[in-house]
Amino acid sequence: MKKAIIIGATSGIGKSLAELLASNGYQVGIAGRRVELLEEMRLRLPNQPLICQIDVADTENAIASFKGLAEEMGEVDLVVISSGVDYVSRDLPWEKDKMIIQINVMGFTAIANTAFNYFLEQGRGHLVGISSVTAVRGGLVTAYNASKAYVSNYLEGLQFRAYKSKKPITVTDIKPGYVDTPMAEGKHLFWAASPEKTAQQILGVIDKKKDHAYVTKRWRLVAWVVKMMPRKLYYKS
């Protein structure tokens, strides 16, 4: 039986992916801040998932908790980092930017670094990070776009390290477009996919061991257009 750890499993993409993996025969370790939601998932998902409270904003405790969960599960095949925060504001409040950096950058790096080193020691594994199509360019939600660019860049660096290691370690950068989750509440969404559809496409990427994918697939075109758009036109969009 394959084993997977999902960080950020209590809502959105992480929750849907944990449910999908469990229904596809994985033993899953589900981690997040809200223990009551983890417990509810544990009671209804197949294959007796393990639960672990992890708040990635508290990086040192998050690292220790991740290591404990991995040890409890035995050899882990897959780690998915799906935790993250966003905000919508006309202003540029430092406290919001600080929160995004702490969770999306520091928290992500703490788990990604630990998981990659775990796979190096184990000799194999698959690390998946959830970035965003917003990583391709800066935007009004300044820290969020920048944090996702960091995530994608860090994952590419790990891909380079995996290649140099000559070990069967896969690192995958997933760039979702709009997903109909609580984090997207209040935004004017188009082409928004359900978390379930998004999880299905991510599972297909995992099975094929791709190093990079946009989900849903149409967002690849959007990313290309945005990257090629002249600055003045982009600022008016």
Q: Is residue 233 packed enough to be buried (19+ CB in 10 Å), middle (13-18) or exposed (0-12)?
A: exposed
> What would the two tokens of residue 54 be?
């992890």
- On the question of a cis peptide bond just before residue 134, with omega within 30 degrees of 0, the verdict is no
The dihedral sign for the CA sequence 65, 67, 68, 69: positive
- E strand or H helix at 159: helix 142-165
CA distances 54 to 5, 51, 64, 111, 175, Å, are 12, 9, 9, 10, 23
Query: Which one from 26, 118, 144, 178 is the annotated catalytic residue?
Result: 144
3-state secondary structure of 57: coil
The single residue listed with the structure tokens 């393990």 is: 50
Distance of alpha carbon 101 from alpha carbon 85, whole angstroms = 9
Written as one letter, the residue type at 72 is E
Q: Is 144 a catalytic residue?
A: yes
Residue closest to 227 by CA, chosen among 216, 214, 209: 214
Known catalytic residues? 144
